[in-house]
Amino acid sequence: MIKYMLLLFCLLSWVLVARGQTKDPLEEVVITSLNKKTQVSTNEKGQLQVNVSPKDVLTFKANGWVRYSDFGARGDGKTDDIDAIAATHAFANQHGLLVKADEGATYYIGGKERTALIRTDTDFGTAAFLIDDTEVQNRNASVFMVSSSLQPFTLEGISSLKRNQEKIEVSLPASCLITVTNANVKHYIRFGLNQDNGAEQTDIFVVDKNGHVDMDAPIIWDFEQITALTALPIDEDTLKITGGQFTTIANRAESKYTYYSRNIAIRRSNVLVDGLEHRITGEGDQGAPYGGFLNISDCSYVTVKNTVLTGHKTYSTIGSAGKPVSMGSYDLSINRALNVSFVNCSQTNDIDDRTYWGILGSNYCKNLLYDHCTFSRFDAHKGVANATIRNSTLGHMGINAIGSGTLIVENSTIRGRSLINLRSDYGSTWQGAFVIRNCLFVPEGGKPASASLISGSYSGQHDFGYTCYMPERITIENLHIDDSNHPQDYQGPAIFADFNPQMTDDSYQEKFPYVITREVILRKVTTASGKALRLSDNPFMFREVKVDTD
């Protein structure tokens, strides 16, 4: 009895300490170890109450792992198991235990607002998870959230930052992810059917404990003022999530921009996701879009490998300009994240099927990688600093990006409308260089098309909140363009699309001048049509570009 009383005292102390260190509502779980059976219940506030018998505590700790069935999960595909799943993780988090799904189980997860917090290695194994989004209490509540026990804190005493600054004057407890904003400056003032008034100037970067900036992901903006500056310590150990066969029963909500976040949210640095599968069923005539089944934000060093995902059906709505617009809906979403890699990943649906939206959307990211991936799209909305696509095949939406640094495309097949599209809604801007080598470009996936390698649109009449650039240098080595299926009047592929059909002579005046590419280096570029590569349908706009051919 004395042994159990001491154990109870320790457990209750741990609960109080854990709850006292954070105000995170996701951790509103009360864990006790009374001399009763292990069970999970909810109180009148909806909080989870988890009692783990002293005997079970000793057993679980001796094993080093817990299963969902240990906390009452049925795994029958019918009973809502989310409370048992969340309770399992809460106990595992407290004791540093591995979580294992039961082999062959099917866990039904209904629309209750409950998020399971993952802070320890988790093996979903061969288990299936059925996520029912047809009736959801809170569409913004993730099903799982991978998070750190380390807490962010505010940095004081720094009033400005410079682009490519190598050090900030701080002393930190460990390497940290730094997020900085200036609310007095607006960037990414969007143009077009989804027009808006822009977003606060934002940047994210990693510094070591002495304030040295990781120059592989440098500061990309000058901050004359800083209105918010936070630091999040980076976990040194890698948290691993393996296996799992997830199926989303799609929502049937009205088709408008009410994004669903019933997902696995990753909010911790140093995470590996390996062998996960996600499928979608039940998409009907209408539905709200999704913000990424894997939603990766505010973190660094995340790798997703050997994973199968699914593109979402495209629905349309009325955009901010008052006209119909197709809504982006994603199975992968990355925001304010650095060093994120996708290795040996694919999607279940045809990458050339235009009824499904492109699988990835990203904002404020640095150092993104596709390696051995087969996806419908790579996309960077609000800028990416450095990206690499290699050994991959991209489908009907191709490569869409704005940003800075170096964009490398190598040993890959691109089946989009262009080889690389510079997003016109954000100024078709890339401040840096493109390197394209050992690639195959199949315009429009083989449909009749007048091919162009670099596409975009820029009128010079809209203020995006920053100077817009084309890549200063474009290097293309060993590219084959399969333009065998082309229109009758086809004149051959162009390096540049016609970015501004109105700019045909010096009389056209740009209010916000575009900085045009300085040099294009071409080596071993061949075409199936036999027609030579041209500069552009708008030779005036690109008249000063130096083209170096072999």
> Cα–Cα distance between 93 and 29 in angstroms, integer?
11
Between the alpha carbon of residue 99 and those of residues 44, 60, 68, the distances in Å are 28, 10, 8
Q: What is the pLDDT of residue 12?
A: 37
Q: Greatest CA span in the chain, whole angstroms?
A: 92
Residue 436 has pLDDT above 60, yes or no: yes
Q: What is the pLDDT of residue 488?
A: 86
Q: What is the pLDDT of residue 550?
A: 84
Q: Write down the residue that tokens 């890699």 correspond to.
A: 341
At 425, the amino acid letter reads D
Q: What is the pLDDT of residue 8?
A: 38
Residue 11 has pLDDT above 50, yes or no: no
Q: Which two tokens stand for residue 247?
A: 């199926």
Between the alpha carbon of residue 539 and those of residues 78, 127, 453, 468, 497, the distances in Å are 64, 58, 15, 20, 10
Between the alpha carbon of residue 349 and those of residues 280, 324, 395, the distances in Å are 10, 25, 11
- DSSP characters over 89-136: HHHHHHHT-EEEPPTT-EEEE-S----EEE-S-EEEEEEEEEEE-SS-
CB within 8 Å of 275: residues ≥ 6 apart: 242, 243, 244, 305, 306, 307
Mean pLDDT of the 413-436 span:
97
Average pLDDT taken over every residue of the chain? 93
Q: What is the pLDDT of residue 24?
A: 53
- Using one digit for the tens of pLDDT, what is the confidence trace for 312-343? 999 999 988 899 999 999 999 999 999 999 99
Q: What is the pLDDT of residue 26?
A: 54
Residue 28 binned pLDDT confidence (cut-offs 50, 70, 90): confident
- Using one digit for the tens of pLDDT, what is the confidence trace for 353-386? 999 999 999 999 999 999 999 999 999 999 999 9
Q: Which two tokens stand for residue 461?
A: 């009449």
Mean pLDDT of the 31-56 span:
93
- Using one digit for the tens of pLDDT, what is the confidence trace for 222-245? 999 999 999 999 999 999 999 999
Q: What is the pLDDT of residue 424?
A: 96
> Cα–Cα distance between 366 and 268 in angstroms, integer?
16
Residue 10 has pLDDT above 80, yes or no: no
Task: Note whether 272 and 305 are within 8 A (CB).
Answer: yes
- Using one digit for the tens of pLDDT, what is the confidence trace for 179-218? 999 999 999 999 999 999 999 999 999 999 999 999 999 9
Q: Write down the residue that tokens 């349309």 correspond to.
A: 316
Q: What is the pLDDT of residue 169?
A: 92
Determine what percent of the chain is predicted with pLDDT higher than 70. Answer: 95
Of 41-45, 160-164, 357-361, 460-464, which range is least confident?
A: 41-45
Domain map (residue ranges) of the chain? 2-116, 153-233, 402-550
Q: Which two tokens stand for residue 157?
A: 């005493």
CB within 8 Å of 404: residues ≥ 6 apart: 220, 383, 385, 386, 430, 431, 432
Residue 445 has pLDDT above 90, yes or no: yes
> Cα–Cα distance between 425 and 438 in angstroms, integer?
30
Residue 22 has pLDDT above 60, yes or no: no
Mean pLDDT of the 266-270 span:
98
- Using one digit for the tens of pLDDT, what is the confidence trace for 277-314? 999 999 999 999 999 999 999 999 999 999 999 999 99
Q: What is the pLDDT of residue 161?
A: 98
Distance of CA 398 to the CA centre of its chain: 16
Residue 9 has pLDDT above 70, yes or no: no
Determine what percent of the chain is predicted with pLDDT higher than 90. Answer: 91
Residue 343's nearest CA partner among 303, 311, 293 is: 303
Residue 4 binned pLDDT confidence (cut-offs 50, 70, 90): very low
Q: Which two tokens stand for residue 121?
A: 């290695």
Q: Report helix, strand or coil for 243.
A: strand
> Cα–Cα distance between 526 and 528 in angstroms, integer?
7
Q: What is the pLDDT of residue 228?
A: 97
Residue 5 has pLDDT above 80, yes or no: no
